[in-house]
Structure 1
Amino acid sequence: MNDKDRRWAETIIDYCDRIEDYLSRFDDDKEIYMSDNLYKDACALVIIQMGEFANRFSDEFRDEYDGIEWKQLIGLRNITAHNYENIVDDIIWEIIHDDVPEIREYLKKILYD
């Protein structure tokens, strides 16, 4: 793994940690999430950033570490960034609960095991 790929992986882990912090800070309650624009905006921005950094990985990195659907993460970034008014809040809620923890653990395993 080259130094840039390592740096991008560490950055994405940091963004995953931010999502966890938001869940703690705002209370891990979907009803609160759905009614709080600050909460939704913070999570959407982190998803955008995660996709941005996933797009920076070398092709070799994405080919070797294919346990994450990198193209889907990058695509989600594009949808979120360019079509914000049509974001489905339920989908982002599912992503921050299901996908973000998996991404964090996968990248930690790559970097630290």
Structure 2
Amino acid sequence: MWRDDAYLLDMLIAAREAREFSKGVTWDAYRQSSLHQHAIAKALENIGEAARKISQQTRSAHPEIPWEQIIGLRHRIAHDYFHLDLVRMWDIVQREVPVLIEKLDSLVPPEEP
């Protein structure tokens, strides 16, 4: 579905932003920087918001993407923001987002010239 292509692109862009926001940042710097915490949380929330809009057909066709966990994280960020686990958020952006980017890269149609 063409809308799914747009949402997959939104997910990819937000995932790349999350990685960019953490680039060159250490755990200690992240832990002490509300700017980095908010930027990364918002990017992760955006990934989940776009994932939530992906059709069930596309989700079923790509079980390698943990759709429910991504969407669940979005709900957690949006509704329980002041109780986020910073260690878990850091782990997600360091370990899971790069894998997600790799998976999304193969699903997003290339840009037309």
The two structures have a TM-score, normalised by structure 1, of 0.92
Percent identity, aligned pairs only, is 24
Corresponding residue number in structure 1 for 2:18: 19
Q: Is residue 79 of structure 1 aligned with residue 66 of structure 2? A: no
Q: Distance in 2 between matches of 1:103 and 1:54?
A: 12
Corresponding residue number in structure 2 for 1:9: 8
Check the 8 A contact 2:5/2:109 in 1, yes or no: no
Runs of 4 or more consecutive aligned structure 1 residues displaced over 4 Å after TM superposition = none
Residue 112 of structure 1 deviates from its aligned partner by: 5.1
Q: Distance in 1 between matches of 2:42 and 2:53?
A: 17
Q: Distance in 2 between matches of 1:94 and 1:68?
A: 17
Q: Distance in 1 between matches of 2:57 and 2:26?
A: 39
Q: List alignment gaps of at least 5 residues for structure 1.
A: none
- Structure with the bigger percentage of helix: 1
Distance 1:69 1:108, change over 3 A: same
The two structures have a TM-score, normalised by structure 2, of 0.92
- What one-letter code is carried by the residue in structure 2 that aligns with 1:93? W
Deviates more, 1:73-82 or 1:103-112: 103-112
Residue 15 of structure 1 deviates from its aligned partner by: 0.7
Residue in structure 1 matching 2:34, options 33, 37, 40: 37
The DSSP-based 3-state class of the residue aligned with 1:102 is: helix
* Total equivalences in the alignment: 110
Residue in structure 1 matching 2:96, options 85, 99, 103: 99
Q: Distance in 2 between matches of 1:29 and 1:107?
A: 26
